[in-house]
């Protein structure tokens, strides 16, 4: 992975920290931040469905629940 790709991943991670820091448990902030930095998450957190989040390693229902308290389910997926 080149420096530009790492910079993009770090920027995504920083956005997650800005959205969740102080509003969700620290373990959730760090876990999702790592998923953006090292995992497969690329889309903004506001656009991710529960299934997208649960597909990431170490993300479980309690983590998704903590995220949904801060960021509601994506409106495009609601019927």
Encode pLDDT of 1-47 as tens digits. Answer: 899 999 999 999 999 999 999 999 999 999 999 999 999 899 999 99
Phi, psi of 11 (to 5 degrees): -65, -40
pTM: 0.84
Q: How confident is the model at residue 79 (pLDDT cuts 50, 70, 90)?
A: very low
Supply the pLDDT for residue 73: 81
Q: Hey, what are 44's tokens?
A: 């903004």
Judge contact between 16 and 44, C-beta under 8 A.
no
């Amino acid at each position: 992975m080149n420096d530009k790709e790492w910079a993009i991943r770090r920027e995504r991670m920083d956005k997650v920290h800005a959205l969740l820091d102080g509003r969700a448990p620290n373990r959730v902030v760090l876990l999702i931040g790592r998923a953006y930095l090292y995992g497969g998450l690329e889309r903004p957190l506001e656009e991710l469905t529960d299934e997208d989040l649960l597909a990431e390693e170490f993300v479980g229902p309690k983590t998704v629940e903590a995220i949904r308290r801060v960021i509601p389910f994506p409106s495009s997926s609601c019927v």
